[in-house]
Structure 1
Amino acid sequence: MSPNERRSEELAAFDRLLTIMDELREKCPWDRKQTLESLRHLTIEETYELSDAILDQDLDEVKKELGDLLLHMVFYAKIASETKAFDIADVLNAICEKLIRRHPHIYPDETGATISADTEDQVKQNWEQLKLKEGNKSVLAGVPKSLPALVKAMRIQEKARGAGFDWEEKSQVWEKVSEEIMEFRELISPDSGQPVDQQAAEAEFGDVLFSLVNYARFVDLNPETALERTNRKFIRRFSYLETHARAEGKALHQMSLAEMDEYWERAKKEEKDIS
């Protein structure tokens, strides 16, 4: 199949989805009842389901979740078209125009001129400058307030880097991590092991996390992905502990930490054997 033939199939599939959306909005009681607000939490859920599928490297599930999200995008546009606010064509044309505007190193302006951008960092710096020209009052204005804190820290740092505000060397960032850890430790009582000032300790702990996110960025690690993989690893090993202890007639609340640690080490060993 030629690229042109495949493009025709893609357009036909999208047209089919639009037609089905029109029919559902007219004929289905549930679809007819939905609003932008009622769909919002469902869209968030679908986004997390896509994230899970990506982490699981389950491409069939990724395909399914992409379809669910695409349906939501079409649904929002359909609802908006009923009040003549915008329709799906407006949505698609707007994103096309933004992509062209945000890539001046590829698409020339009205004078035929392009901007040089040979590296990823140069592209990001251009983006932030263009966003300011488009009306953003701050480089950080585009960071959603409701983002999870770990993801938000990463996005804040990326945007600051795009504006040229960043460390120069990895070693500087690691020194900052060490400094923040020491400042946090100074707020922990050596006698009780508890914070001497709860609010100050929380602030310093936040600084530790923020600096670690910064270092992760410098060494090309995604802290959100890294933490989620650790979460899953912990769940997997704890489930092993629960399952095998139960199979051997033991209850966790009656086991010592040393006994539980034996199962934990067995879980780790089995993971290594499998890998």
Structure 2
Amino acid sequence: MQAVDRLLQIMERLRDPRQGCPWDVEQDFYSIAPHTVEEAYEVADAIERRDMEALRDELGDLLLQVIFHARMGEEDGYFDFQSVAETLEAKLIRRHPHVFGTSQVAEAESVTHHWEAIKEQERRHRGGGHSALDGVATALPALVRASKLQRRAARVGFDWPDHRGAAAKVREELQEVEAEVHGPAERREAEVGDLLFAVVNLARHLDVDPETALRRAGQRFEGRFRGVEAEFEARGEPLGEQSIDALEAAWQRAKRRAGGA
């Protein structure tokens, strides 16, 4: 813990109103929150790239965010790093009675069900509502939140029996989008939102993480589009002057070069 103790001392110095860093001193929970989210995404990016050196670096940046928030909490008398760690320690033990207690589970799926049941008890103990959707953070990325809402609803039986119902709902929502193509902007937004929500539901039934799937789709698009750009640049032909047929043909060639279907 010596390294962590030194980090806590460094942060205390950075936040010192008289001798600290002016930028660090003027920050608060709200101004730092976007940086915390960004660092979490950079951790995920390093994992996606299988870059372990970058992952070590990004995990350090994410730890900095925890230390920063803990220091601000200590200054305001809410909590400190020690209490954050103690709360986590108690939570891990409480949510793993099959490891630290007498309960027994046979497989990972059973662990997940047990974990969710314990979390539900915790929410009720904190005085939360009685909806199955209580506790789903509104600040989550939209795809992640949609998936989590659907999983919560599914736990109480509000779900299609298999992927076919979810797929049919996607087709239904697409028709509703098409019906509103020339409708008011708010209706188009609502119908597109319903379509995206239905696609997330289909992904869940197919055991596909929608956030990961969309991120990788974006990566494939970027690679293929850059291939199209490179092809026309090599010929000295401006991309913006090509016909849609020429662009489509170049796109298909880029897909084949990348090994895509």
* Correspondence for 2:107: 119
Aligned counterparts of 1:179 and 1:40: Cα–Cα separation in 2? 36
Of the three residues 127, 152, 155, the one matched with 2:145 is 152
The one-letter code matched in structure 2 to 1:142 is: G
Contact 1:241–1:263 at 8 Å: present in 2 too? yes
* Correspondence for 1:42: 35
Cα RMSD (Å): 2.7
The one-letter code matched in structure 2 to 1:24 is: L
Deviates more, 1:71-80 or 1:55-64: 55-64
Seen in structure 2, the aligned counterparts of structure 1 residues 128 and 237 have a Cα distance that, compared at 3 Å, is same
Aligned counterparts of 2:195 and 2:217: Cα–Cα separation in 1? 18
The one-letter code matched in structure 2 to 1:76 is: H
Aligned counterparts of 2:32 and 2:178: Cα–Cα separation in 1? 45
Contact 1:143–1:155 at 8 Å: present in 2 too? yes
Aligned counterparts of 2:12 and 2:183: Cα–Cα separation in 1? 62
1:246-271 Cα deviation digits (max 9, x unpaired): 23221222110121123222322221
**What displacement does 1:67 show?**
0.6
Aligned counterparts of 2:26 and 2:213: Cα–Cα separation in 1? 40
Q: How many residue pairs align between the two structures? A: 252
* Correspondence for 1:250: 237
Counting only pairs closer than 5 Å after superposition, residues 120-139 of structure 1 correspond to structure 2 as: 120-134=108-122, 135=124, 136-137=128-129, 138-139=131-132
**What displacement does 1:118 show?**
2.6
SS in structure 1 of the partner of residue 137 of structure 2: coil
Contact 1:240–1:267 at 8 Å: present in 2 too? yes
**What displacement does 1:194 show?**
3.6
Is 1:86 the counterpart of 2:73 in the alignment? no
* Correspondence for 2:164: 174
1:40-89 Cα deviation digits (max 9, x unpaired): 12212222222222222222222111110101101111121123221100
Aligned counterparts of 2:48 and 2:10: Cα–Cα separation in 1? 31
* Correspondence for 1:213: 200
The one-letter code matched in structure 1 to 2:46 is: A
Contact 2:46–2:54 at 8 Å: present in 1 too? yes
Aligned counterparts of 2:137 and 2:177: Cα–Cα separation in 1? 32
Of the three residues 165, 175, 178, the one matched with 1:188 is 178
* Correspondence for 2:211: 224
**What displacement does 1:209 show?**
3.1
The two structures have a TM-score, normalised by structure 2, of 0.83
Aligned counterparts of 2:218 and 2:188: Cα–Cα separation in 1? 24
The one-letter code matched in structure 2 to 1:212 is: V
Aligned counterparts of 1:176 and 1:40: Cα–Cα separation in 2? 35
* Correspondence for 2:65: 72
SS in structure 1 of the partner of residue 133 of structure 2: helix
Identity fraction in percent:
37
1:135-184 Cα deviation digits (max 9, x unpaired): 332332221112222111111123334x3435575xx3223312441353
Seen in structure 2, the aligned counterparts of structure 1 residues 67 and 223 have a Cα distance that, compared at 3 Å, is same
* Correspondence for 1:7: none
1:94-120 Cα deviation digits (max 9, x unpaired): 011111112222222xxxxx3343333
> Any unmatched runs of 5+ in structure 2?
none
Is 1:20 the counterpart of 2:7 in the alignment? no
Of the three residues 222, 237, 242, the one matched with 1:235 is 222
